[in-house]
A and B are shown apart, each in its own frame.
Chain A
Amino acid sequence: SQQGEEDPQALSIQEGENATMNCSYKTSINNLQWYRQNSGRGLVHLILIRSNEREKHSGRLRVTLDTSKKSSSLLITASRAADTASYFCATDAKGSSNTGKLIFGQGTTLQVKP
Chain B
Amino acid sequence: KAGVTQTPRYLIKTRGQQVTLSCSPISGHRSVSWYQQTPGQGLQFLFEYFSETQRNKGNFPGRFSGRQFSNSRSEMNVSTLELGDSALYLCASSRNRQGGRNTEAFFGQGTRLTVV
Contact = CB atoms under 8 A, between A and B. Distances in A.
Closest 6 CB pairs of A and B: A100-B48, A99-B56, A104-B43, A43-B107, A42-B109, A100-B33
B102 A97 contact: yes
Given A43-B92, A98-B100, A102-B33, 9 more contacts: A31-B102, A41-B110, A43-B107, A90-B43, A98-B99, A100-B92, A101-B45, A103-B45, A106-B42
A33 B48 CA distance: 17
Contact of A42 (B50, B58, B90): B90
How many residues of A sit at the interface, in one of the four size bands? Answer: 20 to 34
Interface string A87-100: 01010100011111
Given A101-B48, A106-B42, A40 B101 contact: no
Interface residues of B, number: 36
Give the interface SS of chain B, mostly helix, strand, loop or mixed: strand
A75 interface: no
Nearest to B6: A42
Interface of A: 2, 30-31, 33, 35, 40-45, 48, 50, 88, 90, 92, 96-107
A35 B90 CA distance: 13
A36 B3 CA distance: 16
